[in-house]
Each structure stands twice: as structure tokens, then as C-alpha cells.
Amino acid sequence: MKAVEQIKFPIKNEMELFEQKFKDSMLSKVPLLNRITYYIVRRKGKQMRPMFVFLVAKMVSDGGFDERTYRGASIVELIHTATLVHDDVVDESNRRRGFFSINALWKNKIAVLVGDFLLSKGLLLSIDNEDFDLLKLISIAVREMSEGELLQIEKARKLDITEDIYFDIIRQKTATLIAACCGIGAASVGANQDVIQQMRKFGEYIGIAFQIKDDLFDYSDEKIGKPTGIDIKEQKMTLPLIYTLNNVTRKEKAWLINSIKKYNKDKKRVKEVIEFVKESGGIEYTTTKMHDYKNRALAILENFPESDYKSSLLKMIEYVVERKI
């Protein structure tokens, strides 16, 4: 059984039922919207976010479940999908998970409106059912995701990202949504504030480890979903590069910055930068940091009794740091 299937196993029935509920949550009276949302549902990914919602809900409530949990997972997926649709417009990306993006098929104007529609559906699903606690958790995530994206754009222009700023960016851009999933899972089954905050931290630590792993792929020799060196070509300051810049001579630092600013499209120079980062200990340092966040997440799970759901969350942590794509 694949790793993701093993993780999903204790909530297999809930995930199957969720798929239908998620489809229903996107229904509209506009045929064009229904065609587009049908396309979105058909090309869904691994659905890690609903899995976090369900596994956390089950773990903290000793297997309990609630209709609110399904709504919480739907809210997360609606808002997450809205941000992906908007991201593809911003990034002028024509592909997502091997399929054509919404903007590639239906143009930017329609893609932006579809993103807005999904966002409003997520908000209304919470408001109509008075799930204001769940709405607050997801709203915090949306605010932080926007701030993280803008902070990264601002800093990328000057290439002056410190390690602290880097962690701020990835906490807001990536980790905050996984934190919201885990917080929503706990809140949906009536957990107390202490448990909800613990679960938010748990999700944040996994999200940070997940993003660090993504950054390491840029320096990998293995065949993965994206070509190596893509972050350097896009002038993204990731942890291996930040560490290297802070631990080399002034001359080497000047060469690195010059390479990223002026030669980021030169394949040979990009390859030289990748090799230099590897030789300077950037990969080892980054891997150590990733395992540090993994261990923080594991420490939080120690507070909960053994269960199939806890076991799946432990497998999820391993999957995040060991995955090949």
C-alpha cells in the first residue's frame, strides 16, 4: 500500500463521503461555473488538508466525529482551491499537477472570478451554519498567506532575506494553512482552546518541515516533479542558499549574489551555484533544520493516547520529510 493510502486508511470512509460533500459545496446555478468546478474536482491532488482535519478530529475526540468536521474540511478545501486558482493567474502558470490551469483554459478574468466564487462559498458555508470559530481559524490563515506572499516579493527584489525572515515567510505562506486544518479538526469536535492551539502548532511545524523539504528538492539529483535549480532561476531565497550566503567569504558571497541577479537563466552558472551550495554545507544544515521541526511536531503528538489516527499522523510526519516529490 502506498504511503498516502496507509495514512488515509483509518478515515477512508469519511474521505469518500467528503468528496461528495465537497462537490455539493461548490454547486452553482451558473452552468459555466459548474463546468469549471467539475474540472477542479476531477484533477484533485492527494487531499492532504482534509486528511489533517479528519485525523486530528478523530485523535483528539477518541474517534468522535461531527457534521462540523466535514464542513471544516470543505471550508479548507474551498479556500485552498481559491488561492491556487488565483496563484496560477499571478504566476502566469499554465499547468497545475500536470493539468491545464483554469486561467490557461478559461483566461485570467474567469479564473479570478472562479477564485472569488470559491472563497465566498467557503465563507458562506461557515456563516450559514454559524461555524464562527472555524471561520476565524481559516481567516487567520488567509490573512497570513497574503502577508507571506507579499513579504517574499518585497524581499526578493533586494535578495536580503535573513534566516528569521525566511521562516516568517514559509510559516505564513505554507505552514499557516496546515495549522488551520489541524486547529479546525480539533475545534470541529469541541476540543478546548489548549488542545486547539496545540494542534495549530503541530500543523505549523509540519508545514514548515514540508516547505523546507520542497526547498531541498531544488538541489536534488533525483527525478522529481519540477526541474532542479528552478528556485534559483526565479530568484527565490531558500534556506540552503541563505545559509551559504551567511557562511562564505565576501568574495564568494558577491559571486553568489551576482549569479542569482544576473546569471539566473544561465544553466551552467545555476549548476555551479547548486554545487557550491552543496559543498558549503547548505544541504546538511537545511536537512538538520527540517528534522528539528519534524521532532517538534512529534513531541506534540506524545501528549495524546495511542490510536489508529495518531499512528496515521505519525506516518504523515514521516511522509512529509521522506517524500520524493
The residue-averaged pLDDT of 309-323 equals 92
Percent of the chain with pLDDT over 90: 43
Q: Supply the mean pLDDT for the chain.
A: 86
What is the value of pTM for the model shown?
Answer: 0.88
pLDDT above 70 for 25: yes
pLDDT value for 225: 46
**Digit-coded pLDDT (tens) for 86-117:** 677 766 676 665 666 777 767 777 888 888 88
**Digit-coded pLDDT (tens) for 202-229:** 999 999 999 999 889 878 765 444 456 6
Alpha helices in the chain (DSSP H): 3-8, 12-25, 31-42, 48-60, 67-90, 102-128, 132-158, 163-170, 176-188, 193-217, 230-233, 239-245, 250-262, 267-279, 282-301, 308-322
Are 68 and 131 spatial neighbours (Cβ–Cβ below 8 Å)?
yes
Nearest to 72 by CA among 84, 55, 96, 86: 55
What dihedral angle (degrees, nearest 10) is formed by the CA atoms of 150, 114, 118, 74? -110
